Amino acid sequence: MEDSKLLIALNMIPMLGSKRIIDIASIFKDSSGFLKATSEDLMQIPGISNKLCEHILKYRERVDPYAEIVRAKKAGAIIVTVLDIDYPVLLSQIYDPPPVLYVLGDPAILKYNAVAIVGTRKASSYGKKVAEIFAKDLASMEINVVSGMARGIDSYAHKGAIDAGGPTTAVLGCGIDIVYPPENINIMKNIVQCGCIITSFPMGTRPLSNNFPARNRIISGLSLGTLVVEAAEKSGSLITADFALEQGREVFAIPGSIMSPYSRGAHRLIKQGAKLVEDVNDILDELHLKNTIIHKRAPTENTFGASLNDDEKTVLNLLDFHPVHIEQLLVQSEKTSGEINSIITRLELKGLISSLPGGYIMKI
């Protein structure tokens, strides 16, 4: 196998899969040889049935790797294959690595030590804040924060890393020229400025549900370890954790409320041996990264403490990490309803508390 363009062409044929692409590419020296291959030639390859042979021949006439490279370039992306020096080393070590990656942004980011942060799309305020804090702390130490740019935990992981100036990598379950979910257009633009976007899917590929397990395998494959922040019992995040275990990578989990259905997946992982983590040092210790990190900025925890006035400090001290009703705050603080509402609004804007239904407030 000598031709990256052959890999790009094969990757454009639907339903081949990474291993079969490599098997086919190993038979032919270049894309022109593949284009001249007869059905008899293809049938000599192990695992190629009559039906699959017809499928390959049907799509072979439609794919053009040269045009695909041009389309990627117009979108601002490059195409990296397993034959290229820029292909991520850690990803190349997994079973069945994707033979083709589309990269938007700085491909050098893929050479950094990386930790994946994943979780539910229906994240709680607690989960969002935790994802953001861990991502910010990791990125501030030049550790690449890898996630899937999905709603919920993924988005907040990227936001935390972006706030630290990167690095962060988003792995898509669609083409590099498609923003999914569409409301993450600004997150995507910011990631390109301080990290990169990657996908194994050809240009124009829609975000179909069966694309995401392959996406999750890349997330874990790029990373030394995967941190699950919040996850239901049946969750794509647990699929990512399973891939991490299969790939011989570490799995970490954040404990949550036993009352929340979105803590059950993380709690199950902890019961099964995932490392329970309470701060970023738990991850650094397990991955033996403490002596390799480069601090770009001071730790991000408690960054709001110095900017609180006396009234804000008083109310914050009356709150806890479980819900407290606003009526209780009124009594304990001896402040008026208007004063309390104003203080609560300011504390929310500073990311220190969250308002809950029914007039309850809690620290986050």
Cα separation, 28 vs 25, whole angstroms: 5
Give me the residue label for tokens 């257009």. 185
Question: Does residue 115 contact residue 138 with C-beta atoms inside 8 Å?
Answer: yes
321, HSE (Cβ side, Cα atoms, 13 Å): 8
Cα separation, 316 vs 36, whole angstroms: 72
Question: Does residue 8 contact residue 68 with C-beta atoms inside 8 Å?
Answer: yes
Q: What is the DSSP string of 102-133?
A: EEEE-GGGGGS-EEEEE--SS--HHHHHHHHH
* pLDDT computed for residue 236 by the predictor: 87
Indicate the average pLDDT of the chain.
90
* pLDDT computed for residue 295 by the predictor: 55
pLDDT of 196 higher than 50:
yes
Q: Does domain 103-287 have CATH number 3.40.50.450?
A: yes
For the segment 240-295, what is each residue's pLDDT rounded down to a tens digit? 999 999 999 999 999 988 888 889 999 999 999 999 999 999 999 999 997 666 55
Distances (CA, A) of 102 to 79, 125, 199, 212, 326: 5, 33, 5, 16, 50
* pLDDT computed for residue 87 by the predictor: 96
**Architecture label for domain 305-363:** Orthogonal Bundle (1.10)
Distances (CA, A) of 236 to 105, 211, 212, 289: 26, 12, 8, 27
For the segment 114-159, what is each residue's pLDDT rounded down to a tens digit? 999 999 999 988 899 899 999 999 999 999 999 999 999 999 999 9
Residue extents of the structural domains in the chain: 1-63, 103-287, 305-363
Q: Per DSSP, which regions of the chain are E strands? A: 77-81, 100-105, 114-118, 144-147, 168-171, 196-199, 225-228, 250-253, 275-276, 324-325, 353-356, 360-363
Where helices occur in 77-211 by DSSP H, the ranges are 89-92, 125-139, 153-163, 185-194
Cα separation, 261 vs 284, whole angstroms: 28
Burial 210-220 (b: 16+ CB within 10 A, else e): ebbebbbbbbb
Query: HEC profile for 318-338?
Result: HCCCCCEEHHHHHHHHCCCHH
Same CATH fold assignment for domains 103-287 and 305-363 = no
Q: What is the pTM of this model?
A: 0.83
Q: Pairing relation of β-strands 144-147 and 168-171? A: parallel
Question: Does residue 109 contact residue 196 with C-beta atoms inside 8 Å?
Answer: yes
Kindly tell me the sign of the dihedral angle through the C-alpha atoms of 181, 185, 190, 194: positive
DSSP letter at 288?
A: T
For the segment 175-192, what is each residue's pLDDT rounded down to a tens digit? 999 999 999 999 999 999
Fold of 1-63: DNA polymerase; domain 1 (1.10.150)
For the segment 13-53, what is each residue's pLDDT rounded down to a tens digit? 998 989 999 988 888 877 778 888 888 888 888 888 899 99
Among 195, 201, 206, which Cα is nearest to 72's? 201
Residue 21: enclosing H or E segment and its boundaries? helix 18-25
